[in-house]
Structure 1
Amino acid sequence: MNNFIQPYQFVSIKAHSEQLLNVYKSVNDFKTIETFQAITYDHISQLFNEKHSEIEDFTNIIMHQKIKRAQVEKLILGLRSYVEPFNQPSSKQLEKIFKKTKKLKQPDWENIDLKTTSYVGWNDSGKQKKFIIAYEQDKLVGVVGELSPTIKPGICSVCKKESNVSMFLSTTKSKGDGTYTKNGNYICHDSKHCNQQLDQLDGLYEFIQSVKMK
């Protein structure tokens, strides 16, 4: 089977389908419904550079105003089989990426849904650290920073959505004079929740670039 859907695309399809269902349920004006249908159709289509019959079939079916939530959930479950899961690295690979960290705490892989995961982030409350790994052009990259135990409502720098966020503080070294700079970003305290809201990757890559060692 060809796995052509990325986790963030799957999350986006699911979110926009649910929004459209809510419009069907709560809006009576036909023009408004038509507008939301067009927005949803265009958004899902533009997630992919190539046309896929599975995506076209899905979007055509959810354009039916009488469709039931259970039917959409079944269709989304069908699309899930085409999702390319996050490529789980080995413990040795992680230790190599975070070689400055002694006794590295490993992610709880058993409780991570790799098909809805665009990046993996895990907290080490003992060290007040957060570790994040992702793939940039198929290369595994990792960043680590101090994670404040204080959680408050705010906008996450990664998923760009409202969430319960904490300050992630990283120390970066400049290329030139060897000085160190501290960079702070508010991000989701819970990376699992962040991934469930992550429907585009720009924020993720911008965040990684801003906190990586220069």
Structure 2
Amino acid sequence: MEHPFIRNHHYNLIRKQAGLLQHTCSTVSDPKVVESVRLGAQSKVVEAFPEATAFQRRMLENIADLRTANDAEHYLRSLEPYLAPFDRVTDNQLKKLFPKNKKLKLPDLAAIDFRYVTYLGWTDIATNKMFLVYPLDGRIIGIEGKFTPANKKSVCFLCNRHEEVALFTAIAKTKPANASPDYYKALGNYLCVSSDACNRNVTDVDALEKFVRAVTG
């Protein structure tokens, strides 16, 4: 059996394209339009896996065969054994990522299905802080920032969907060579209030990885 190779954001992309194709098949009568959407969905899914094996590529290409909601549901279920989960972390590992927070509020790791996690995020309303954990370049990175609810829906910088957002502001850890002792650079973006919703929506990690690199240097 093939090793798991579909990360959460990949699975969301596939699910999005499967839904679009199924909707087109059920609402559009022009066969040329349907075929165009069919080929587009297949192309976008396959292009997301440039290093796919021949077996993996054939599996992904099967999205072009979808016609009904049942087809889409069956196809997505068939991919679940190949979901590559987020790197599992322990409470102690999380505490080590944020050593200055002696009373760090931790998420309930036992309740999380890590197959559907692109980044681990949670908030501490008491301190107006948000914590984000993401594996990058072979190591687990933790980012802590100020959490300011916007009390409105807007576009999340990470998943690019219209959701309830908060301004997540983190301080960059690097400084210019000649910076004064009190120098700091704050980096802020509107991020989904609900990390669960964000993880269900995200189809690309470029924005997330760019932000993590900007904060950590």
Q: Structures share a fold, TM > 0.5? A: yes
- Aligned: 1:200 with 2:204: yes
Are 2:194 and 1:190 equivalent residues in the alignment? yes
Deviations 1:7-29 (A, max 9, x none): 21111111110111011111111
SS of match in other structure, 2:83: coil
Shift of 1:54: 4.6
Amino acid at match of 1:47: A
Q: 2:214 aligns with which of 204, 210, 214?
A: 210
C-alpha deviation, 1:190, in angstroms: 0.7
Amino acid at match of 2:160: K
> What residue in structure 1 maps to residue 25 of structure 2?
24
Match of 2:9 in 1: 8
Matching residue of 2:117: 117
Q: 2:55 aligns with which of 48, 53, 56?
A: 53
Q: Answer yes or no: is the 8 Å Cα contact 2:155–2:165 preserved in 1.
A: yes
Aligned residue type for 2:87: N
Structure 1 position 123, deviation (Å): 0.7
Aligned equivalents of 1:151, 1:86: Cα separation in 2: 30
Q: CA deviation at 1:55?
A: 4.6
Percent of counterpart pairs with the same letter? Answer: 27
Report the RMSD for the aligned CA atoms in angstroms. 1.8
User: Displacement, 1:160?
Assistant: 2.2
**Structure 1 partner of 2:170:** 170
For normalisation by structure 2, the TM-score amounts to 0.90
Tell me: CA distance 1:199–1:72, structure 2 relative to 1, closer, same or farther (3 Å): same
For residue 28 of structure 2, what is the amino acid of its counterpart? V
Give the superposition deviation at 1:58. Answer: 4.9
Q: Which stretches in structure 2 are left out of the alignment for 5+ residues?
A: none
In structure 1, runs of 5+ residues without a counterpart are: none
Q: Following the alignment from structure 1 to structure 2, what is the Cα–Cα distance between the partners of residues 50 and 111? A: 31
Say which is worse superposed, 128-137 or 41-50, in terms of deviation: 41-50
Distance in 2 between the 1:202 and 1:64 partners? 29
Output the TM-score relative to the length of structure 1: 0.91
